[in-house]
Amino acid sequence: MNTKFDWDAVWDRKGSSESADAIEISGFESVVIDTAAACAELCRMMDIQDTESALEIGCGAGLLARHMKCTFVGTDRSPFMVKKAIEVSHLSAVVCDADYLIFRDKSFDHVYAFGVFHYFPDYEYANRCIAEMKRVARKGIAVLDVPLETHDSNHLLFEKDFFPGWDFGPPLYQREHKRYNAYLRL
């Protein structure tokens, strides 16, 4: 019997709510986050220029992406979240699993996931996602908001040695549990 927690049901429920608040829909209602500043820091860290392109894995309602100035496409496994990203944050977004990206090799300059890897079922899935991110990216990939510890036992935690040879940076916002960002220049 599969006893894994059903995160898909959580995101489908949040995505199908009446809310038009991206912070609430994307699940950041219990933290203080300056989303414009976080997006600017993300672009600085990955060196994303306005003239370039970026793909987000697990874009949710587009909390950070709505501040992106570059050409942007979001992906999410939940069709309800994709609809919210389009309607609430006015983004281009498609339904897509993180371990099977529906794009050609080297389609985007930058590929990142923010606040997503701890919802994956296991580390094999995370490695398949990283392989896909590398395949569709030209310049760099980032896994952001990775938890080292958590309040929720259903989260998948990642030690930094899961990302060998990557660079690490501090989280894009403050919260009580330790998190970090991982970046790989290609």
Ligand X SMILES: C[S@@+](CC[C@H](N)C(=O)[O-])C[C@H]1O[C@@H](n2cnc3c(N)ncnc32)[C@H](O)[C@@H]1O
- Among residues 26, 141, 174, which one has the least CA distance to residue 89? 26
The smaller minimum CB distance to ligand X, of residues 62 and 140, is found at 62
Site membership for ligand X, residue 116 (CB under 6 A): yes
Please pick, from the candidates 73, 81, 172, 182, the single residue that binds ligand X as defined by CB under 6 A: 81
Distance CA 62, CA 68 (A): 10
Q: Within a 10 A sphere around the Cβ of 97, how many other Cβ atoms?
A: 16
Tell me which stretch binds ligand X (CB under 6 A): 41-49, 72-80, 135-143, 155-163: 72-80
Site membership for ligand X, residue 97 (CB under 6 A): yes
- Among residues 30, 46, 49, which one has the least CA distance to residue 38? 46
Site membership for ligand X, residue 140 (CB under 6 A): no
- Among residues 56, 67, 77, which one has the least CA distance to residue 144? 56
Binders of ligand X among 46-65, rule CB under 6 A?
Answer: 58-64
Site membership for ligand X, residue 171 (CB under 6 A): no
73 forms beta bridges with 55
Site membership for ligand X, residue 183 (CB under 6 A): no
Query: Taking CB under 6 A as the rule, which mask of x and - marks residues 3-42 in contact with ligand X?
Result: --------x--------------xx---------------
Run of H or E including 83: helix 79-87
Site membership for ligand X, residue 114 (CB under 6 A): yes
Please pick, from the candidates 43, 55, 98, 172, the single residue that binds ligand X as defined by CB under 6 A: 98
Based on the number of CB atoms within 10 Å of its own CB, is 78 exposed (0-12), middle (13-18) or buried (19 or more)?
A: buried
Residues in contact with ligand X by the rule CB under 6 A: 11, 26-27, 58-64, 76-78, 81, 97-98, 114-116, 119-120
